[in-house]
Structure 1
Amino acid sequence: MKKDQLVKGFFLAIYTLQPMKLLEKYSSSVIIGWGMLIGGIGFSFIKSPFAVEGIWDYSTYLYTFIIIIFGTLIAFYAYLSAAKIIGGQKTSLLASVEPLSAALLGIFWLNISFSPLDWLGSLLIVSTIVLLSLKKNAV
């Protein structure tokens, strides 16, 4: 396993489990709003939000708006709402299916080739989700 994958897994666990106490007290939209504000201010010290390269025309603004609203705001809101309703553990299990669904969309919609090793990895993801979701028998 690569080091960056381990770090990503660690922070996904923190992202899923850390806000559970906050979700008991505040709504998902309040938590996301504050998180994005604090994260945006913190990241602005690394990369200035005003130093954007490229051509900014009508379509660029439109696509950027769509990505912000649908790809970020609604996605995070849905994830935290799911964590509040079904719990962090089940939510993170369901989130692990996302790379698999993206791969399947790439195969069937974009005609991207998939090697046998890719299929094996997909099978391992699905089998892990199934094994973790099975109820454990009393020991």
Structure 2
Amino acid sequence: MMIAQRFAQIFGAVYLLVGIIGFLPPLLLGTLPPGVVGPLAGLLLGLFAVNWFHSLAHLLIGAAGLAVHRNHSASRAYALALGIAYAGLFVFGLIFGLNFLGGLLPLNGADHILHILTALIAFGAYFASRSQGGIDVRRAPSAR
């Protein structure tokens, strides 16, 4: 399994889980940040500004990663698309903050850190897993 495939599998599972727990009101801790709109709005685990739309986006991103992780080309495309999208969210989040898209997609400082880290790892997975002869993360057979 190439690095991009492992990336799609792991990040797909993590983002799917984050999307699910974003719909659980007991995990929305802390004071609702001003500018966050929509039902199920709050601070996920007391850190990340979320609402139903943000959680739905995480569900879709996670499901997409799990759907493509068995295909090398699709996994590379997923890693590249995720890298571009999350780098863009990082930049737009710095500019607009919690009022991004009218508060529909709230972004706070914790989100910015998560987004730039995700983008950097996604780009790394994309470039490390070349179309031909990429780095295979399976264990090499032991010499006998």
Instruction: Give the structure with the larger helix fraction.
Output: 1
Instruction: Give the structure with the larger strand fraction.
Output: 2
- Settle same-fold status: TM greater than 0.5: no
Give the TM interval when normalised to the shorter protein. 0.3 to 0.5
TM-score (norm 2): 0.33
TM-score (norm 1): 0.33
Structure ID, larger Rg: 1
